[in-house]
Amino acid sequence: MHGWGWGYEGMGGWAFGFMTVGMILLWILIVLAIVALAKYLLRESRSTASKDARTPETVLSERFARGEIDTKEYRERLDAIREAGHG
């Protein structure tokens, strides 16, 4: 038996070099895909949590900003929210 004995007799140094570079690139792509997926999932969970965490004061402020209520009504409702302890 001559050569390496594992069926690599026809492969020169360039082939092993290309295989090594290819494997390194493959692992880099796998790691990058995992990182990208983790970032995406974390961003989605954060945005969902922030939408669910709207306080009564935030909702009231948004309505005031859209012009749905005037200044007097805004202040009255804000005082009521704070008195009830929901702020």
Q: Write out pLDDT tens, residues 22-53.
A: 999 999 999 999 999 999 999 877 766 666 67
Task: Please indicate, yes or no, if residue 60 is contained in any of the structural domains.
Answer: yes
Q: Which pLDDT score is estimated for 1?
A: 47
Task: Please indicate, yes or no, if residue 24 is contained in any of the structural domains.
Answer: no
Q: Which pLDDT score is estimated for 51?
A: 62
Q: What element of type H or E holds 19?
A: helix 13-52
Q: Which pLDDT score is estimated for 84?
A: 86
The predicted model gives 59-81 an average pLDDT of 92
Contact criterion met (CB below 8 Å) for 77 and 69? yes
Task: Please indicate, yes or no, if residue 19 is contained in any of the structural domains.
Answer: no
Secondary structure (3-state) at 7: coil
Task: Please indicate, yes or no, if residue 46 is contained in any of the structural domains.
Answer: yes
The predicted model gives 58-80 an average pLDDT of 92
Task: Please indicate, yes or no, if residue 65 is contained in any of the structural domains.
Answer: yes
Number of domains into which the chain is organized = 1
Task: Please indicate, yes or no, if residue 51 is contained in any of the structural domains.
Answer: yes
Domain of residue 42: give its range.
33-87
What's the predicted TM-score (pTM) here?
Answer: 0.44
